[in-house]
Every structure is written in structure tokens, then in C-alpha cells.
Amino acid sequence: MEYVIFDLEWNQPFANDISFMKRTGLPVSGEIIQIGAVKLDAKLELIDTFSMLIKPQYLTRMHKHVEKLTHISAADLSLGVSFGQAYRSFENWCGPKAVLLTWGSDDIVMLRENLRLFGMPSRIKHTWYDAQLIFAHLQHGNTQQVALSKALEELAITKDDLPAHDALNDSIFTGRVCKAIPLAEGIAQYEEIVKHTYSPAYFPEALSFFIYENFTDKRVVLHDSRVRHAHCPLCQTLLTLEKIQRLSGDKFLSLGRCRHHGLLAVHWRIGKYMKRGNVLRYYVTKMLTEAPEKLQTLYAERTEQNRLKEEAYLARLAAQKQKR
């Protein structure tokens, strides 16, 4: 067996700018600018490396924060290759039997987004594991996110003066963490580890995507009929929706049933952006996906959690009234 540990760097839209999503018509949050990876043998010994810069097609202006973090400039990227060329080279380098690992799930989400953005099959062909989850489970008995730098510090692993936030270097660091823990044990327990982990990396891909903008009040967004109504992406039948539940922050989920195609999931995310003249407005994205058991479980858990929160809130209000 060979392990491929990879990391991505990506450029981001400027703050409060939704033109990227509007231009592409896709739920894309960034454009990949570097792929870095290490290949390890069955004993987790380094046998090869991969690094390639990618010339962006959409986000051609480097975000200042990204440039500062990665030390990658627009001039550097002008010498890069296309995303398609880079990814095909990476797949060929991986080989057909490699097992993939990343530190966290964001890289998988970003990779799927970019594959779809550039019209490539977005299903990841290789088996993939989240090394961050495995580390947290083995070291701490939970699934709390741990920064790669913290994991290195905890395991007393040296960085050899390699700068972080370089895709190849971060892959090297992740490989060192994997070698320092009983990785095979974590992989064997992986299905149990991720049972209650609800990253978008484990969700189905979008069947349809919509964006609505120019709301002046965030509180009314989900009351707009265009936003809260959803149609089956296969036959356009109006779905019968369950109550919309808050997942976290400004992310929401509901389940909807089509009389022809069964159960679907509807995802909303509210954000803000600036119109000309620095006028603050709100937007919302709506995405429909299949509704596998994992999403159904998430919806049921959030429904119960939100019910208990509402009951506790009403109890506090009642107690305050009695004191008066």
C-alpha cells in the first residue's frame, strides 16, 4: 500500500464579494492555486513528492491575506499550469492504488468544487481519510479540530525550518504526524470515528444551486417565498418541506419530499456583501442534494437540539415574568 498525503492552497474572493458565485453559478468558495503532496510507503517512509502551481482562471487577483499567508504572488502563478493539467498530473502521480489523506476535510471540499468548476468528474477516485480526525480520536478521544501546528507541537515533531502554508511543506508535516501515531488503527476505526462528523466533504454534491441577493434585513431572508420554496431538480415538482432547522451560525437545513423522486435535502447559507457605494446587503445560497442517511440523522439531531434550546428559552422568559 502507498499513502498519498496532499494539501491545497487556494485563492479567495475579496471580502463581501459574491461575483465569483454569480459568475460561475456554482457553490464555489475559492480557486486552487497549488497542489502539494508526499507519497509514503506502507511503513510511512517518504518515497516521493509532488508540487505544482496553478494559474487561476477566475480569481486572477491574489487576495492579500492569501498572498501573505502562502507567499505566492500573482507573478508566481502566471508561470503555473491550468487546473486540469495539474490535477491530471497529480492523479497520474498518485497511481491507481494510493490511499489519500488530508489534514481536515476542507481540501476535499475545495477539490470537489474546483473539479466541478472546470467541468471535470468531481468524484474522488481514491479512498480518502481525514488525518486530523484520526489524530484527534487517537490522541484525545474526540473529533475536535486540532491545528496542524498544534499536532506537531504535541508530538514534538520538528519542522526543519520549512515554512507553513506551503502545500508541499504542509503535506510533509502531516506525513510526520501520521507516522508518529498508530495510523492503521485509526483507519480501521474510521467508520465509527466519522459517524457523527458532519463535514460537507461527506455530503452529496449539489443537484441544483441558487443565489438570491439584495436583502436589507437578514432576519427576513428565509421568509422570502423564492428562498424557502424548493423544487425537485429532476422534475421541478414543488417539494413538501420539513421545518427549516439551523445547523450552525447562518447555515440551515431542511428535508423535502418529491412525490416522484423521494427525499431530498435543501441547504441554505446566509452571507453579506457590499454593493456599490459600500451599501451592506445580505444574500442567501440554496442548494439541493440527495438526502442519504447521514443527512437525515443530522436533520433529526438538529431538530431535537433546537427544540430543547427553544424550550429552555421559553422557560427563562416565563421565569423572568414570574419575578416581575
Task: Chunk the chain into consecutive blocks of 10 residues (it has 324) and report each block's average pLDDT, rounded to whole numbers.
Answer: 96 84 92 98 96 96 93 95 98 95 97 96 93 97 95 94 93 97 97 90 94 95 96 97 95 97 97 87 96 95 95 92 84
Please compute, for residue 90, the number of CA atoms within 13 A of its CA located in the half-sphere on the CB side: 29
∠ at Cα 221 (14, 259), nearest 5°?
110
Q: What is the rounded distance in angstroms from the CA atom of residue 232 to the CA atom of residue 316?
A: 40
Q: Are 167 and 10 in contact (CB under 8 A)?
A: no
Residue 285 bridge partners (DSSP): 211, 269
pLDDT (0 to 100) of residue 278: 83
With 0-12 CB in 10 A as exposed, 13-18 as middle and 19+ as buried, what is 161? exposed
Positive or negative torsion for Cα 143, 166, 66, 122? negative
User: What is the structure's pLDDT at 196?
Assistant: 82
At 237, is the secondary structure helix, strand, or coil? coil
Give the pLDDT of residue 104: 96
Supply the pTM of this predicted model: 0.90
pLDDT at residue 324 in the model: 78
- Per the CB < 8 A criterion, the answer to whether 36 and 170 are in contact is yes
For residue 227, what pLDDT is reported? 97
- The residue behind cell 452529496 is 204
Cβ burial 41-61 (10 Å sphere, 16+ → b, else e):
eeebeeeeebbbbbbbebbee
Instruction: Name every residue whose Cβ is closer than 8 Å to that of residue 290 and which is 6 or more positions away in sequence.
Output: 204, 207, 264, 265
- CB-CB contact of 145 with 151 (8 Å): no
pLDDT reported for residue 323: 85
State how far the Cα of 204 lies from the Cα of 100, in Å rounded to an integer: 19
pLDDT of residue 322: 87
